[in-house]
Amino acid sequence: MSKTTLAIAIAAATATLAVAPAMARDINAVTSLQQTNTIARSFITTFVGAVNNAKGPVTINYVGGQEVVPPRKAANALKRGQFDMLCSPTAYYIGTVPEGYALLAANQGPAALRKSGAWEILQEVYAKKAGAHLLAWGENMTSYNMYLAKKPKMKDGIPDLTGVKMRATGTYRPLFRALGGSTINIKSSEIFTAMQRGTVEGFGFTDVSFVPLGFHQVAKYRVTPNFYQTNQVVTVNAAIWKSLSKAEQGFLTAQAIKYETESVKWVEVERQKEDKQVKAAGVVDIALKGAAAAKYLDIAHSEIWKELKKRSKYHDQLRPLMYVPGKPNRQVDLSAAKARLRQ
């Protein structure tokens, strides 16, 4: 999208959204995921909506998703100031900020990271490398599955992807290659057609948004257990963040912390709804158990940390703060979300 077209989109969004309080500061936000994606909808609902409903000193104008700017160009567009706020998986700019891998392989949640000092390190990294202020880590208990068109061969109890063409961003590439697969990098909006045509034979994806994007029609097998946790973060252009008053920054930070919990609850409701639809569509679970499951997860997480070790001087600082073996600390109470489903 050209700068002119983007400017028109921002102007249109600003004009059509609810009228803000007279003195409120307007922030224009973009998601790098499709608007129909469950995680993008969570951001729009549990952050953008919550900020605007709070009627505080800042309001957010949601401009759009991939139709506004290609996902792999969004981080640079934010840095250049084409818009003010970005909600995006770090996979789309992992070459610029490889520390996004640490969020994938972490077993500590955002509250724990803020307490341990890891969040402060990540904010320093984002300021230096992305020209952005790291504001929030939303939907942080959403995890990933491997989906396949054909039943996989098994080796030592886990999938053998030798000769299998897998769609993969930086999120999945280390795992799929470790399992023998060949990887192809295409946009998430192209997965459906690529699976239909056999251009790819499998892909990794979150455990939500599978149905809205129609993937249950082209994927026949789902490998469990789930791995990783989503590295969807909200960032603000550094110059815009510095231009905000202390009150405005404090308001957005407080809303961001609430979002880190509320988004998890919101997504859980959607995940359980979708899971019923996935099973009804005939997608078959290949459930790894015991030692095989442990091996599969160990490969997934160790490959990510290896990748970060190769790419970032911050690895040795971040790993002990973000991954504590045997002591996960990212749990959000989901009882209320599950109760809503029973009503």
Residue reference for tokens 């700068």: 3
* Predicted TM-score (pTM) of this structure: 0.86
Contact status, residue 61 vs residue 28, Cβ threshold 8 Å = yes
Task: Quote the strand ranges of 12-131, DSSP E.
Answer: 25-31, 58-64, 85-89
pLDDT at 191: 95
Between 331 and 180, name the one with better pLDDT: 180
Write out pLDDT tens, residues 281-304.
Answer: 999 999 999 999 999 999 999 999
User: What's the chain's average pLDDT?
Assistant: 90
Question: Which helix or strand (DSSP H or E) is residue 105 part of?
Answer: helix 100-105
Separation between Cα atoms, residue 215 and residue 218, nearest integer Å: 5
3-state secondary structure 218-268: CCCEEEEEEECCCCEEEEEEHHHHHHCCHHHHHHHHHHHHHHHHHHHHHHH
Write out pLDDT tens, residues 246-263.
Answer: 999 999 999 999 999 999
DSSP string, 268-297: HHHHHHHHHHHHHTTPEEEE--HHHHHHHH
Write out pLDDT tens, residues 138-176.
Answer: 999 899 999 999 999 999 999 999 999 999 988 899 999
Band of the pLDDT at 335, cuts 50, 70, 90? low
Write out pLDDT tens, residues 113-134.
Answer: 999 999 999 999 999 999 999 9
Separation between Cα atoms, residue 35 and residue 41, nearest integer Å: 6
Band of the pLDDT at 339, cuts 50, 70, 90? low
| Average pLDDT, integer, range 101-109 | 93
Q: Copy the structure tokens of residue 266.
A: 């919101």
β-pairing, 153-155 with 158-160? antiparallel
Contact status, residue 31 vs residue 65, Cβ threshold 8 Å = yes
Contact status, residue 37 vs residue 209, Cβ threshold 8 Å = yes
Domains defined for the chain, CATH in brackets:
3-141+230-268 (3.40.190.170), 144-228+282-312 (3.40.190.170)
pLDDT at 336 over 70: no
DSSP string, 116-173: HTHHHHHHHHHHHHTSEEEEEE-STT--EEEEESSPPEEETTEEE-TT-EEE--TTTH
| Average pLDDT, integer, range 298-313 | 95
Phi/psi zone of residue 138: left (φ > 0), alpha (ψ -120 to 50 degrees), beta?
beta
Separation between Cα atoms, residue 298 and residue 101, nearest integer Å: 15
Question: Which helix or strand (DSSP H or E) is residue 115 part of?
Answer: helix 110-116
| Average pLDDT, integer, range 301-308 | 94
Write out pLDDT tens, residues 26-46.
Answer: 999 999 998 888 999 999 999
Write out pLDDT tens, residues 74-92.
Answer: 999 999 999 999 999 998 9
β-pairing, 85-89 with 232-237? antiparallel
Write out pLDDT tens, residues 181-222.
Answer: 999 999 888 999 999 999 999 999 998 988 888 999 999 999
Separation between Cα atoms, residue 304 and residue 166, nearest integer Å: 17
Find, among 208, 183, 254, the residue nearest to 33 by Cα.
Answer: 208
Band of the pLDDT at 239, cuts 50, 70, 90? very high
pLDDT at 3: 52
Band of the pLDDT at 334, cuts 50, 70, 90? low
Band of the pLDDT at 337, cuts 50, 70, 90? low
Separation between Cα atoms, residue 47 and residue 288, nearest integer Å: 36
